[in-house]
Amino acid sequence: MSRRYVSPLNLKHGCVDLTHGSGGRAMAQLIEDMFVKHLDNDWLRQGNDQAQFLVAEGRMVMTTDAYVISPLFFPGGDIGSLSVHGTINDVAMSGAAPLYLSASFVLEEGLPLKLLDNIVASMAKASKESGVPVVTGDTKVVERGKADCIFITTAGIGIVPEGVDISGDHAQPGDVILLSGTIGDHGVAVMSKRENLEFETTIHSDSAAMHGLVADMVRAVPGIRCMRDPTRGGLAATLNELAGQSGVGMALKEADIPFKPEVRAACELLGLDPLYVANEGKLVAICPKKDAEKLLETMRAHPLGQDAAIIGEVVEDEHHFVQMQTGLGGNRIVDWLAGEQLPRIC
Amino acid sequence: MKYIDEFREQSLAHKLAADITAEVKPGRKYRLMEFCGGHTHAIFRYGVQDLLPSHVEMVHGPGCPVCVLPISRIDQAIALASGEDIILCTYADMLRVPGSNQGSLNKARAAGADVRMIYSTQDALQIARDNPDRQTVFFAIGFETTTPPTAVAIMQAKQEELSNFSVFCNHVLTPAAIRSILDTPEAVPLDGFVGPAHVSTVIGTKAYECFAADFKKPVVIAGFEPLDIMQAILMLVRQANEGRHEVENEYARAVDRDGNLKAQKLMAEIFKLRPSFEWRGLGEVPDSALAIREEYKAFDAEKRFSIEWKEAKEIRGCECGAILRGRKKPLDCKLFGTICTPDNPMGSCMVSAEGSCAAYYSYGRFRSAA
């Protein structure tokens, strides 16, 4: 009979405790039997405090993002898959092909091991499907009450193809603004599961890694000027950021912005404006007018860009306003979000 | 979206706009007050004024529940929330309203007070049930729309003998506010009112009949959708042209003459009129607010806790008062867009999305920049 001299992780009833972060045998076991088991790859298996790899020629990009979402599981995803998709997308928005991820975990004492196992398994699935491995990581455990179950920080690096130069400050008057699909799906899916707000819906988060879509786009139109994924603050925040960085205004047409009817209905009910609701699998791209149709076609040919649309154009404006012709035919500003977007009371 | 898209349809909007343009008399101005913040918000969000002829001027009224609450009541709520073992529950917008010395419930929360944002009075009740060792206070604000749910909560609390639940009642009444706007020597000249939507589902159209008669002002009750508002404007222009001053109901799909009798009965059971109540912008308005009746005083936070009342001063230079009365527009205020912005509101009209300063800033400031 072979003995491991370590009792297995109790996934059924076990919880994270402070020993899982104290540098002792319990921590080593958690890393081995949970993180390495799921996220398995050559770099992790080396067991070093860092991953070593060859550096490619050209320009590299690096990004990092912290994930603190509540609830941890929502229709269409969870904090694990989100922490992979989100960081891959931040790398990809430069036009880069993502290469490697890191992941660091802050775990709250008392977190059920089963829950953690599900989250790490979901990360591993997202990482394998995207073809971007998690090559290094870290775990810390904090006392109960010092964190909300689990916080995950991932970082990613990638390499930009030659001839691609995408940046938020490159938009020029006359350029065309494209959106890869319907907006608000993620935010509404998450809100539908929030405490106090639970409502029945068929809406799923759009959480997805978009580097495949981006690769097709930069291949077809290497001259894309700006690209960004409208996450927190929604489409409104992203367009205001780009307008400010580039020193331009924007003119949108509300009628051309794609929404799912269910998302619009949920927003209507809650008094929210879908323009401000978060997305995790959509991107905004700005390109010269001459390339717009080709870019639109390319986006629509990809599963993540089927509902892509041209939603407006870049204009000269010293105030850097994002303006929109409303569905009714009037005009309004699409402003930055002030405070939090909250359901109205009257 | 069924029953929504129909009321935002561009071709119908253009047709209504053409009808209004055909109806207005050359050389005449039509100054129409939309009482409700919900209407103000819709007018800006959909760009309704871009479709209207220049003869029609919309004057924004005081019907934003967050905007009209006086600073002293906010200060009282902050003091309550900062008390020991108290959970203060309120609707979201209230968290950001500035009180004295730039305080707010949000800041009180950051300093350790237990302030919780709720979506329904039922949430407040549940918090009370879940925390039997602590006092849960619901900071109740709003017009007749939000009053019945508060009444239901008080009634339930009594039935359940929920001794740790109480209500800090700040409910106010629409008709009294309209009277206050009209019944003053320096009243802003108005040709008619776009009457409240949701409020009227509760109080009915008959509540407005006395203004139409006493002050000879037409009132058209309208829904919150842009085509509702445009239809109401057309009806008001017609009344003005024909010299009529009647209460008409554009929002017939939700409002009738009597309103919701069940809700009215419930409100009468739980609440009584306050002889007078301070409104931001309007000052003391007689018979304009509700207090909890003696029979339910066990659930009245003002009786349960000694809430000190201190006179509070408006921020210097803030024109919220004149703006709420329709006497000034946001751009007439020196603070607007300089030190007062939605991210750092000085006055209450900049806080709520239904406040006219916030609506003007968020949706319409390109007009003055151009």
For a pLDDT cut of 90, what percent of chain A falls above it?
83
In angstroms, what separates the C-alpha of B243 from chain A's closest C-alpha?
30
In angstroms, what separates the C-alpha of B112 from chain A's closest C-alpha?
15
In chain A, residues with a C-beta closer than 8 Å to the C-beta of B145 are 346
Q: Of A160, A191, A215, which residue is a domain's last?
A: A160
H or E segment and range at residue B38: helix B37-46
Residue A10, domain member (yes or no):
no
Residues A210-226, mean pLDDT to the nearest whole number? 98
pLDDT class of B187 with cuts at 50, 70, 90 = confident
User: Are A250 and A300 found together in one domain?
Assistant: yes
Q: Is B353 within 8 Å of A330 when comparing Cβ atoms?
A: no
Check: CB of residue A206 under 8 Å from CB of residue A280: yes
In degrees and rounded to multiples of 5, residue B25 shows phi and psi of -85, 135
In angstroms, what separates the C-alpha of A274 from chain B's closest C-alpha?
13
Residue A187, domain member (yes or no):
yes
Using CB atoms, pick whichever of A197, A264, A321 lies closest to residue B366.
A321
User: Are A293 and A218 found together in one domain?
Assistant: yes
**A319 has a chain B CB within 8 A of its CB:** yes
Q: Which residue of B has its CA nearest to A236?
A: B362
In angstroms, what separates the C-alpha of A197 from chain B's closest C-alpha?
7
Beta-bridge partner residues of B221: B195, B249
Using CB atoms, pick whichever of B10, B44, B93 lies closest to residue A327.
B10
Residue B370, domain member (yes or no):
no
In chain A, residues with a C-beta closer than 8 Å to the C-beta of B369 are 319, 321
Number of CB atoms found within 10 A of residue A9's CB: 19
Q: Is B354 within 8 Å of A346 when comparing Cβ atoms?
A: yes
Q: Is B342 within 8 Å of A323 when comparing Cβ atoms?
A: no
pLDDT tens digits, B215-255: 999 999 999 999 999 999 999 999 999 999 999 999 999 99
Residue of A250, A252, A259, A328 to mutate for B, most B C-beta atoms under 10 A: A328
Residue B181: the pLDDT is 87
ipTM: 0.85
Angle at A242 between CA A241 and CA A246, to 5 degrees: 120
In chain B, residues with a C-beta closer than 8 Å to the C-beta of A255 are 10
User: Are B228 and B191 found together in one domain?
Assistant: yes
Residue B211, domain member (yes or no):
yes
Q: Rg of the Cα trace of chain B?
A: 21
pLDDT class of B310 with cuts at 50, 70, 90 = confident
Residues B171-183, mean pLDDT to the nearest whole number? 92
Residue A308, domain member (yes or no):
yes
Asked if the model's pLDDT at residue A8 lies above 90, the reply is: no
b/e burial code for range B263-273 (CB count within 10 A of at least 16 → b): bbebbeebbee
Residues B168-193, mean pLDDT to the nearest whole number? 91
**A332 has a chain B CB within 8 A of its CB:** yes
User: Are B294 and B262 found together in one domain?
Assistant: yes
**Burial (Cβ within 10 Å: 0-12, 13-18, ≥19) of residue A73:** middle
Residues B27-50, mean pLDDT to the nearest whole number? 95
Q: Of B295, B313, B331, which residue is a domain's last?
A: B313
pLDDT class of A244 with cuts at 50, 70, 90 = very high
User: Are B275 and B353 found together in one domain?
Assistant: no
User: Are B338 and B210 found together in one domain?
Assistant: no
pLDDT tens digits, B323-368: 988 889 999 999 999 999 988 888 889 888 789 999 999 998 888 7
User: Are A106 and A233 found together in one domain?
Assistant: no
User: Are A152 and A222 found together in one domain?
Assistant: no
User: Are A187 and A138 found together in one domain?
Assistant: no
Q: What is the pTM of this model?
A: 0.90
B362's CB contacts (< 8 A; 6+ apart) are A333, A335, A338, B44, B342, B353
Q: Is A196 within 8 Å of B45 when comparing Cβ atoms?
A: no
Asked if the model's pLDDT at residue A249 lies above 60, the reply is: yes
In angstroms, what separates the C-alpha of B96 from chain A's closest C-alpha?
8
Angle at B156 between CA B150 and CA B160, to 5 degrees: 145
**A316 has a chain B CB within 8 A of its CB:** no
Using CB atoms, pick whichever of B10, B119, B366 lies closest to residue A196.
B119
**Dihedral sign, CA of A343, A344, A346, B1?**
negative
In chain A, residues with a C-beta closer than 8 Å to the C-beta of B49 are 330
Asked if the model's pLDDT at residue B304 lies above 50, the reply is: yes
Check: CB of residue B64 under 8 Å from CB of residue B177: no
Residues A278-287, mean pLDDT to the nearest whole number? 97
Residue A216: the pLDDT is 98
Q: Is A345 within 8 Å of B123 when comparing Cβ atoms?
A: no
Provide the residue range defining the domain that includes A74: 18-160
Question: Hey, is B82 helix, strand or coil?
Answer: coil
Provide the residue range defining the domain that includes B353: 320-365
User: Are A127 and A187 found together in one domain?
Assistant: no
Quote the DSSP letter at residue A15. B
**Dihedral sign, CA of B13, B18, B22, B27?**
positive
In angstroms, what separates the C-alpha of B184 from chain A's closest C-alpha?
27
User: Are B150 and B177 found together in one domain?
Assistant: yes
Asked if the model's pLDDT at residue A198 lies above 80, the reply is: no
Q: Is A331 within 8 Å of B50 when comparing Cβ atoms?
A: yes
Looking at chain B, the number of H-run helices and the number of E-run strands are: 16, 11
Q: Is B50 within 8 Å of A344 when comparing Cβ atoms?
A: no
Residue A1: the pLDDT is 65
Residue A214 to residue B210: CA distance in whole angstroms? 64
The CA distances from residue A65 to A74, A85, A153, in Å, are: 19, 11, 6
pLDDT class of A79 with cuts at 50, 70, 90 = very high
In chain A, residues with a C-beta closer than 8 Å to the C-beta of B35 are none
Residue B370: the pLDDT is 55
Q: Which residue of B has its CA nearest to A339?
A: B343
Average pLDDT over chain A, rounded to an integer: 93
User: Are A218 and A284 found together in one domain?
Assistant: yes
Give the torsion through C-alpha atoms of B219, B223, B226, B232, to 10 deg: -20
**Dihedral sign, CA of A21, A26, A30, A31?**
positive
pLDDT tens digits, A133-191: 999 999 999 999 999 999 999 999 999 999 999 999 999 999 999 999 999 999 999 88
Beta-bridge partner residues of A285: A178, A227
Integer distance in angstroms from the first to the last C-alpha of chain B?
34
User: Are B207 and B228 found together in one domain?
Assistant: yes
User: Are A255 and A296 found together in one domain?
Assistant: yes
For residue A82, what is the domain's CATH number? 3.30.1330.10
In chain B, residues with a C-beta closer than 8 Å to the C-beta of A340 are 92
User: Are A152 and A190 found together in one domain?
Assistant: no
Residue B274, domain member (yes or no):
yes
Q: Is B38 within 8 Å of A197 when comparing Cβ atoms?
A: no
Residues A272-296, mean pLDDT to the nearest whole number? 96
User: Are B243 and B354 found together in one domain?
Assistant: no
Residue B185, domain member (yes or no):
yes
Q: Is B362 within 8 Å of A333 when comparing Cβ atoms?
A: yes
User: Are A180 and A148 found together in one domain?
Assistant: no
Asked if the model's pLDDT at residue A116 lies above 90, the reply is: yes
Pairing, β A331-333 against β A309-315: unpaired
In chain A, residues with a C-beta closer than 8 Å to the C-beta of B123 are 196
pLDDT class of A271 with cuts at 50, 70, 90 = confident
For residue B131, what is the domain's CATH number? 3.40.50.11740
In angstroms, what separates the C-alpha of B207 from chain A's closest C-alpha?
19
Asked if the model's pLDDT at residue A344 lies above 70, the reply is: no
Interface of A with B in 176-205 (CB under 8 A): 196-197
DSSP collapsed to 3 states, A33-67: HHHHHHHCCHHHHCCCCCCCCCCCCCEEEEEEEEE
b/e burial code for range A170-202 (CB count within 10 A of at least 16 → b): bbeeebbbbbbbbbbbbbbbbbbbeeeeeeebe
Does residue B203 or residue A56 have the better pLDDT?
A: B203
In angstroms, what separates the C-alpha of A153 from chain B's closest C-alpha?
25
Q: Is A345 within 8 Å of B142 when comparing Cβ atoms?
A: yes
User: Are A115 and A219 found together in one domain?
Assistant: no
Residue A44: the pLDDT is 92
Q: Which residue of B has its CA nearest to A319?
A: B369
Residue A60, domain member (yes or no):
yes
In angstroms, what separates the C-alpha of B119 from chain A's closest C-alpha?
7
**A269 has a chain B CB within 8 A of its CB:** no
In chain B, residues with a C-beta closer than 8 Å to the C-beta of A338 are 341-343, 358, 362
H or E segment and range at residue A32: none
Residue B198: the pLDDT is 95
Q: Which residue has the tokens 């101005």?
A: B29
Residue A122, domain member (yes or no):
yes
In chain B, residues with a C-beta closer than 8 Å to the C-beta of A197 are 119
Sheet holding B86-90, edge to edge: B114-117, B86-90, B135-142, B165-171
Average pLDDT over chain B, rounded to an integer: 93
Q: Is B142 within 8 Å of A346 when comparing Cβ atoms?
A: yes
In angstroms, what separates the C-alpha of A332 from chain B's closest C-alpha?
5
User: Are A151 and A192 found together in one domain?
Assistant: no
Q: Which residue of A has its CA nearest to B8?
A: A328
Q: Which two tokens stand for residue B214?
A: 């006493």
In chain A, how many domains are there?
2
Residue B49: the pLDDT is 92
Residue A175: the pLDDT is 98
Residues B103-108, mean pLDDT to the nearest whole number? 92
In chain B, how many domains are there?
2
In chain B, residues with a C-beta closer than 8 Å to the C-beta of A191 are none
Residue B23 to residue B234: CA distance in whole angstroms? 8
Residue A170, domain member (yes or no):
no
Q: Amino acid letter at A172?
A: Q
Residue A346: the pLDDT is 42
Q: Of A160, A186, A211, which residue is a domain's last?
A: A160
Residues B123-146, mean pLDDT to the nearest whole number? 97
